[in-house]
Structure 1
Amino acid sequence: MTKKALIAMSGGVDSSVAAYLIKEQGFESTGITLKLFDNEDIGEKKEKTCCSLDDIDDARSVCYKLGIPYYVYNFKDSFKENVISRFISAYENGTTPNPCIDCNRYIKFEKLMRRAEELDFDYVVTGHYAVIEHNAETGRYLLKKSADSSKDQSYVLYSLTQKQLAKTLFPLGNMTKEQTREIAEKLGLINAHKHDSQDICFVPDGDYAKFIEQYTGRTYPHGSFVDEGGKVLGEHKGIIRYTVGQRKGLGLALPHPMYVKKKDLDKNEVILCENSGLFSRELYATDINLITCDRIDKPIRVKARVRYNQSEQSAVVEQIDENTLHIVFDEPQRAISYGQAVVLYDGDYVVGGGTICRTPETK
């Protein structure tokens, strides 16, 4: 019996070529675009964000050219609850969110996979650059880095469960971006040279604080910048406007460079330090997901990343309870931010990861 594949299509070149490759592999293919928000909801009047009408038109055009059905699914309520609300809550609580990970976790590989099962599809397909393998000896599905290291997206996919990995296909995992565009050009796809989306889709201008204030209708009170000894250095413009490691945009005239170290919500203070004060060797992560194993039974050496664009760093990880990891780096790491993901690697394979919740000084 022919397997059925539901292909998540953003209107970009990656998901379009993924659709073509899956169809060529003999799957009964259907393309879908997820409607995640209306532009009016995020203060945009023009259709210039991903999931806009232009993107829907591009995805529909590709599906027509490939001869496969195409539909638009309304996931706006789920996106508001699981991505936008989490994004706002993180900033309001002094942490730094990662909405792309939340979107993958709660929308594409939870809500969408559930919808696919309800409609009797065997697989969900996306244009992510990563590889899924099955280890016959252990019976586990593994997540591996993309062949194109410059496009690898394994970091934002660490939360995939064994069930989700078993029902997901990444046709672009062993390809480079250049190869993807070459296929799109040969097919004459409308989006062969379409630029990749760089910004968070619902904050297209990158001004997170303005988005939060417009979306919530709330204003965030000014407070004090202070040094680590509590000395007042000036006035900040609302605690949501600052992230750990930030130097630019503080609006202060100081005798030497200072950076955001942390935020005190109770006092509404932003604590600044010199660059040397931003480094930590240890962190704790919660809300964990492990891929290569069910549990880390003893300390193991890994490579780790504490942000998407960081190079991997040598470390030792220990699982201290069912939902917490303790990670000690060989070398101190700069500007570890609560709310971001730490993702662990063994060579090219993702061991797992979690959400950074504290460093030892905040016990």
Structure 2
Amino acid sequence: MPESRLLEPAAAADLFDLPRPANECRIVVAMSGGVDSSVVAALAAKSGAEVIGITLQLYDYGAATGRKGACCAGDDIADARAVADRLGIAHYVYDHESAFREDVVEAFADEYLAGRTPVPCIRCNMGPKFTDLFAMARELGADCLATGHYVRRVMGPAGSELHRAVDPARDQSYFLYATTQDQLAYLRFPLGGLPKAEVRELAEAAGLRNAAKPDSQDICFVPDGDYAKIVKKMRPEGAAPGEIVHAATGEVLGKHQGVIHYTVGQRRGLDIGGQPEPLYVVGIDAEAARVLVGPKRMLAVSSATIIETNRIGPVPDAGLTAKVRSMAKPVPVTLEGSFGDGVSTTIRFAQPEFGVAPGQAAVIYVGERVIGGGWIDETERLTA
């Protein structure tokens, strides 16, 4: 396969927006072992800069051994090391399993136990992946930290801005809303303007052994996709049986085997029949071990309160949209009160929004730009 133009030194260097000539710079690349971060490392190496790859071992090495498409464990670390060897760059693996367990996995279990819907990938980016990698990159004297995320860093009138990826099917901006302004100034996202197909072509052209490696699926520390099993192992009390109750009438409709098996918006797995209309989980009373169900109209909310808010750049007076799930389409919203610096803010939806659950993140956009977001703490139901 002919070499891509992006693997030419000048074109590769342009992707990193370096402050000096590339041969005078040092780039640290976060390498998970996947094809995306491997291509970033290949592009960084082609730029002419000194490149150092860092892999964080985040969870049990043995549990993920042999599982392709995971992240930061087992064969994935071996893949990262092989890519670094192929490119002739330095590569270091740091054991961050304890920090990852405390900051991400334990929090994941606690959120489910509380009847909330966690998003551990955001917690990981807020903690081990960015905070710790930033410290390492700066200690190594790097000019920037590059990752394989599909987002764009764009220079605007007030400084660095975070924008959605060109390829909407790959956009990961939802997971990076907590990036601070200082972090964004130091970060580089070389893949944000590329479709995934071209990234794989770059991997093949660079001779990377993981060019055809499957994309990551589900949550990295849940190898078989069974979230409840992980939570039950860590928090056995979450498997306590309880009642399934109609949220409008108070009627007990059935029994469940633990609130950890349910999330707001869920329809399958309720095992209650004979109802005049389909029922969904509309709320979870974790303290009473009760799962509240109701018709779809009871999922509609008019507003949500978000906490631990982060703001990136100026916030305009109009034209705001929000996503409450990573794959959701942005919908028009207005903000009530201050936004950012950790203060709580109310998001009011222009139209009823469905499936908004405490524990999820709400990410705010203006056009293609991410202006920040926060964790959904509570919602205001539209109808009883």
Alignment TM class, shorter chain as reference: over 0.9
- The equivalent position to 1:79 in structure 2, one of 65, 78, 100, is 100
Contact 1:113 1:124 in 2 (8 A): yes
Q: Describe the shift of the 1:319–1:47 C-alpha distance in structure 2 as closer, same or farther (beyond 3 A).
A: farther
2:150 matched to 1:132?
no
Paired residue type of 1:107: P
Instruction: Please give the residue correspondences for 1:8-27 in structure 2 after superposition, counting only pairs within 5 Å.
Output: 8-27=30-49
Paired residue type of 2:218: D
Paired residue type of 2:206: L
Number of the residue aligned with 1:222: 241
Which secondary structure does the structure 2 equivalent of 1:300 belong to?
coil
Deviations 1:1-40 (A, max 9, x none): 7221111111111001111112222321011211001145
2:68 matched to 1:50?
no
- The equivalent position to 1:313 in structure 2, one of 319, 328, 331, is 331
Q: Which moved more, 1:333-342 or 1:116-125?
A: 116-125
Deviations 1:31-75 (A, max 9, x none): 1211001145xxx37531432331112111111111111111111
2:281 matched to 1:260?
yes
Number of the residue aligned with 2:359: 339
Contact 2:322 2:331 in 1 (8 A): yes
- The equivalent position to 1:285 in structure 2, one of 296, 303, 306, is 306
Q: Equivalents in 1 of 2:327, 2:338: separation in Å?
A: 27
Q: TM-score, normalised by structure 1?
A: 0.93
Number of the residue aligned with 2:123: 102
Which secondary structure does the structure 1 equivalent of 2:215 belong to?
coil
Identity in percent: 41
Number of the residue aligned with 1:239: 259
Contact 1:39 1:47 in 2 (8 A): no
Q: Describe the shift of the 1:45–1:23 C-alpha distance in structure 2 as closer, same or farther (beyond 3 A).
A: closer
Number of the residue aligned with 1:302: 320
Number of the residue aligned with 1:151: 170
Report deviation, 1:216: 4.1
Number of the residue aligned with 1:271: 292
Report deviation, 1:289: 0.5
Deviations 1:234-264 (A, max 9, x none): 0011011100010101122232310000011
Q: Equivalents in 2 of 1:184, 1:271: separation in Å?
A: 48
Paired residue type of 1:177: K
Which secondary structure does the structure 1 equivalent of 2:126 belong to?
helix
Report deviation, 1:361: 5.1
Deviations 1:167-198 (A, max 9, x none): 11111111111110111111221011110011
Paired residue type of 2:143: D
Q: Equivalents in 1 of 2:172, 2:140: separation in Å?
A: 28
Q: Equivalents in 2 of 1:216, 1:201: separation in Å?
A: 19
Paired residue type of 1:230: G
Unaligned runs of 5+ in 2: 1-19
Q: Equivalents in 2 of 1:30, 1:171: separation in Å?
A: 16
Q: Describe the shift of the 1:20–1:248 C-alpha distance in structure 2 as closer, same or farther (beyond 3 A).
A: same
Which secondary structure does the structure 1 equivalent of 2:319 belong to?
strand
Q: TM-score, normalised by structure 2?
A: 0.88
Q: Which moved more, 1:56-65 or 1:234-243?
A: 56-65
Contact 1:281 1:331 in 2 (8 A): yes
Q: Equivalents in 1 of 2:176, 2:125: separation in Å?
A: 7
Which secondary structure does the structure 2 equivalent of 1:288 belong to?
strand
